[in-house]
Structure 1
Amino acid sequence: MSMDAPASLNFFKGHPSFRLLPNKEIIDATTDLLSPDKRFYDSDTENRHPLTYGSDQGALWVRNTICSFLNDDIFKLPKDSNLRSTPECLNLNSGASYGILSILLQSTLAQTGYTRQAFIISPTYFLINNCFIDAGFSGKLTAIDEIGCDTIDFVTLEKKLQECENQASSGDSTECIDNPQSDKKKKVYKYVIYTVPTYSNPSGHTYSEETRLRLIKLARKYDMLIIADDVYDILNYDQDISKNSKLLPTPPKRFVHLDRQTWSSTEDDPFGNTISNATFSKLIAPGLRFGYHETVTPKLAYQLSEGGANISGGTPSQLNSMIVGTMLKNGSATNVLRHLISTYKERGEVLYTCVKRWLPQETDCDVIHGGYFVWITLPDDYNMEEIQRRLNAEHNVILANGSNFEVIGDPKGWGKRSARLSISFMEKEEIQEGIRLLGSVCREYATELGLPF
């Protein structure tokens, strides 16, 4: 079922409700940016005028502003920390979805077999399969299960990696994507793994630092690139930020931080093994279509910026990147983000309370700690696919059945009893009514089949 199908209540949509979109703040930032006849950087080749073609890696002042935001406001890193983000390790792009495709096109090569396999943590973001298939990975996708709330199935992952190694030929080449007029050869990885490590879509889980470090160690061993969708990690609902109007939550260290922290210039790949694929879609507004890659060293960020489309047109979101940069500088982005966090926290509390009140007693549902989503699993012998069908037919309510979150070609059966519920689109009263209706359908189903409720 499509998330855009007509419905009176929609638990599928993973974007802000319209009243949360910061119209005024974006208008003000755009006015501040474009009102002057000249800006000091208009003719600077590293920045350029906001309405012209941008530099390949994105405006330097925007990259510097993002780094300050991450280092000082979000991760609160000491000035002398080697974990701090630097502008040369950032590549600006048009949001996380295009960011993923850009990474795959610029640093993997599935069509010739050079990149042997892609691994996707399952259940997974329901549209990510398309990016991998576009990049040539059809038939080369392996699902790796989450285990518990903070780790993944390392046993299966390493077993599959070793199987691929044993079957690999020695004649693989990247020649077909190397520019014969350039002496620079692209870094292409033998394997790639995709994950949403903090407040995952769809499960809501967050991987421990131990899990992250273990995966980095494995990535270095097998020449594997870890693509981390760091799109929800700032939306933390556990930390109390109410007493300071400028304070934002502090997320766990990202993969790119831990890779940089443990990286050796003499022993490890000079390109690193991780990319933070981040966006401002979840933090300000999705229509801006602006995000960034962050890499361990400048090498991979630069490679991504030198793709054919980038050097032809420059950074793909020149104007919007500067609008966001202006909002970060003037503090309005922080205010918008704090408002989103407060609103989503309240909605998450309502959803959890309603699940416990109206759904079958043995329904598995975690308290939401951050991000957009709650993953629920009904008790044994309930059929979520049938319940979803009835809920939509009888009450015009849409939810995202677990079957939407499979890895193509390696299904795990998530649709049998599980579903993802979003808190981002509906107001508290709508969430309450939607869960009440879901509960009524579950009760009717349980009565028909003689199941405990």
Structure 2
Amino acid sequence: MSMDIPGVFNFFKGHPSFRLLPNRAVIAATTKLLDPEFRDYDDDTNNRHPLTYGSDEGAYWVRDAITTFNNDQTFRFQKDDRGRSKPEFLNLDSGASYGVLSILLQTTLPHTGYTKQAFVVTPTYFLINSCFIDAGFSGKITAIDEIGNGEINIDLLERKLEQFEKDPKDSQGEEALKPIMNPLRKGQKKIYKYVMYCIPTFSNPSGSSYSEETKLKLIDIARKYDMLIITDDVYDMLTFEEPFDELPKPLIRFVQLDRRSNEDPESYGNTVSNATFSKLIAPGLRFGYHETVTDKLAAQLSHGGANTSGGTPSQLNSMIVGTMLLNGSAAKVLSRFREEFANRAEALYESIKKFLPKETMFEMPKGGYFSWLTLPEGYDAREIGKIAYETYGIILANGSDFEVIGDERNWGARSIRMSISFLEVDAISSGIELLGKVCQEYASKKGIEF
């Protein structure tokens, strides 16, 4: 089922209600940015005019605003903490989805077998499969399971890596790198043997977050096997467990942990944070950034052919967001989102406990946009979703949408992803009450416990 089909109660959509979109704040930032006839940096090749082609890496002042926001206002690193970022470690892009594909195109080579396999945590973001397939990983994607309590199945990951290391079919030599050798550029790009994708904080779709111990174990494995870990760090600032009148302190990111223990300034690292402001301000701005351990991988990502053709892909939007970071309006939007979504999360949790079958598995969301619901044995989530839509106009995201293609787990049998970003509190409560009626009638027909 598509998230865009007409419906009364849309629990599929993963973007903020139109009421929450910060029209006035964006107008004010755009006016402040564009109203002056000249800006100090218009002729600076590291920044440039907002309406011209940008530098390859993106405006330096915007990258500086992002790192200041992250280092000092949210993650709140001490001045001597090696996890702190620098503007040189960032490459600005046009949002997380484009960001993932750009990373894959610039750091992997599955076509020749040099990059042997991709690992994707399951259940996964429902559109990420296409990015990996477009990058040449069709038939080369392995699912790695979330197992709860901040962990994923690391044992499975290591077993699979050992198997692929022993596989004699894949070429790893210089011959396999020839297709990307560009005579117009100096040096060889860093290409990884393996790549892994996950959403480590308030994951889409499960809502789960990984422990620091799990992150450190994965970084050690990535270094051992020459693997790049791509993390979608898009929901981590949307925590519901801290005061809403101040900026949150998110869980530490993979890239920050990798940087802390990396002593080599020439290293490309084994992690890249794929972040976006789409979930924190407005999806229509289409602006995000890559953050890497040092400046090496960030520079490589900025030097792709499409990027160097016209410079950073979101020159204007990046400066609008940069202005909002500097004038404080981005922080206000984030605070509003967190408070609104926290209220919706509570309404969803209470409604599920009140109206759905008593053995339904569902945890109180702690942040982000999404959470994972599992119906009791005997219930078919696909059938219930179909009845709910046809009877009451309830649109649900069935678990089958969140499989890793080619390595499925049958998530669609009993699981549903629930979104709190689009529906208001009253609609959430009403929609779940009606869904409960569907489940009750289904249970009566099937002779199972409600």
> What residue number does 1:417 align with?
414
> What residue number does 1:69 align with?
69
Runs of at least 5 residues in structure 2 that lack an aligned partner in the other structure: none
* In structure 1, C-alpha distance between the alignment counterparts of 2:172 and 2:193, rounded to whole Å: 13
Runs of at least 5 residues in structure 1 that lack an aligned partner in the other structure: none
> What residue number does 2:349 align with?
352
One of 276, 280, 285 as aligned partner of 1:283 = 280
State the one-letter code of the partner of 1:113.
G
Question: What pairs with 1:265-304 in structure 2 (closer than 5 Å)?
Answer: 265=264, 270-304=267-301
State the one-letter code of the partner of 1:33.
L
State the one-letter code of the partner of 1:303.
Q
One of 328, 345, 356 as aligned partner of 1:331 = 328
Q: CA deviation at 1:171?
A: 4.8
* In structure 2, C-alpha distance between the alignment counterparts of 1:426 and 1:153, rounded to whole Å: 33
> What residue number does 1:183 align with?
186
* In structure 2, C-alpha distance between the alignment counterparts of 1:331 and 1:311, rounded to whole Å: 32
**Conserved 8 A contact 2:9-2:431:** yes
Q: Deviations over 1:270-311 (max 9, x none)?
A: 100000000000000000000000000100000000000111
**Conserved 8 A contact 2:237-2:250:** yes
> What residue number does 1:157 align with?
157
Query: TM-score with structure 2 length normalisation?
Result: 0.98
* In structure 2, C-alpha distance between the alignment counterparts of 1:79 and 1:263, rounded to whole Å: 17
* In structure 1, C-alpha distance between the alignment counterparts of 2:336 and 2:47, rounded to whole Å: 31
The residue matched to 1:272 in structure 2 has which SS?
coil
> What residue number does 2:223 align with?
220
Q: Deviations over 1:365-414 (max 9, x none)?
A: 01100000110001111111110010011111101000000001111000
Correspondence 1:315 to 2:312: yes
The residue matched to 1:364 in structure 2 has which SS?
coil
Q: Deviations over 1:207-254 (max 9, x none)?
A: 000000000000000000000000000000011244xxxx21111110
* In structure 1, C-alpha distance between the alignment counterparts of 2:441 and 2:86, rounded to whole Å: 57
Question: What pairs with 1:194-273 in structure 2 (closer than 5 Å)?
Answer: 194-242=197-245, 247-265=246-264, 270-273=267-270
Q: CA deviation at 1:178?
A: 1.5
Q: CA deviation at 1:449?
A: 1.2
Q: CA deviation at 1:170?
A: 4.7
> What residue number does 2:432 align with?
435
* In structure 1, C-alpha distance between the alignment counterparts of 2:63 and 2:264, rounded to whole Å: 24
Correspondence 1:368 to 2:365: yes
* In structure 1, C-alpha distance between the alignment counterparts of 2:413 and 2:8, rounded to whole Å: 24
Q: Deviations over 1:106-161 (max 9, x none)?
A: 00011111110000000000000000000000000111100013110111111111
> What residue number does 1:141 align with?
141
> What residue number does 1:306 align with?
303
In terms of mean alpha carbon deviation, does 255-264 or 98-107 score higher? 255-264
The residue matched to 2:413 in structure 1 has which SS?
coil
> What residue number does 1:114 align with?
114
* In structure 2, C-alpha distance between the alignment counterparts of 1:421 and 1:89, rounded to whole Å: 35
The residue matched to 2:289 in structure 1 has which SS?
strand
In terms of mean alpha carbon deviation, does 269-278 or 398-407 score higher? 269-278
* In structure 2, C-alpha distance between the alignment counterparts of 1:276 and 1:68, rounded to whole Å: 16
Question: Given the superposition, is the C-alpha separation of residues 208 and 330 from structure 1 closer, same or farther in structure 2, using an over 3 Å criterion?
Answer: same
Q: CA deviation at 1:80?
A: 1.9
**Conserved 8 A contact 2:113-2:172:** no
Correspondence 1:123 to 2:126: no
In terms of mean alpha carbon deviation, does 295-304 or 232-241 score higher? 232-241
Two-structure CA RMSD over aligned residues (Å): 1.0
* In structure 2, C-alpha distance between the alignment counterparts of 1:25 and 1:182, rounded to whole Å: 42
The residue matched to 1:83 in structure 2 has which SS?
coil
* In structure 2, C-alpha distance between the alignment counterparts of 1:188 and 1:79, rounded to whole Å: 32
* In structure 2, C-alpha distance between the alignment counterparts of 1:151 and 1:345, rounded to whole Å: 24
Correspondence 1:42 to 2:79: no
Question: Given the superposition, is the C-alpha separation of residues 356 and 297 from structure 1 closer, same or farther in structure 2, using an over 3 Å criterion?
Answer: same
* In structure 1, C-alpha distance between the alignment counterparts of 2:342 and 2:418, rounded to whole Å: 14
Question: What pairs with 1:18-33 in structure 2 (closer than 5 Å)?
Answer: 18-33=18-33
State the one-letter code of the partner of 1:209.
E
The residue matched to 2:273 in structure 1 has which SS?
strand
Residue identity (%): 61
> What residue number does 1:450 align with?
447
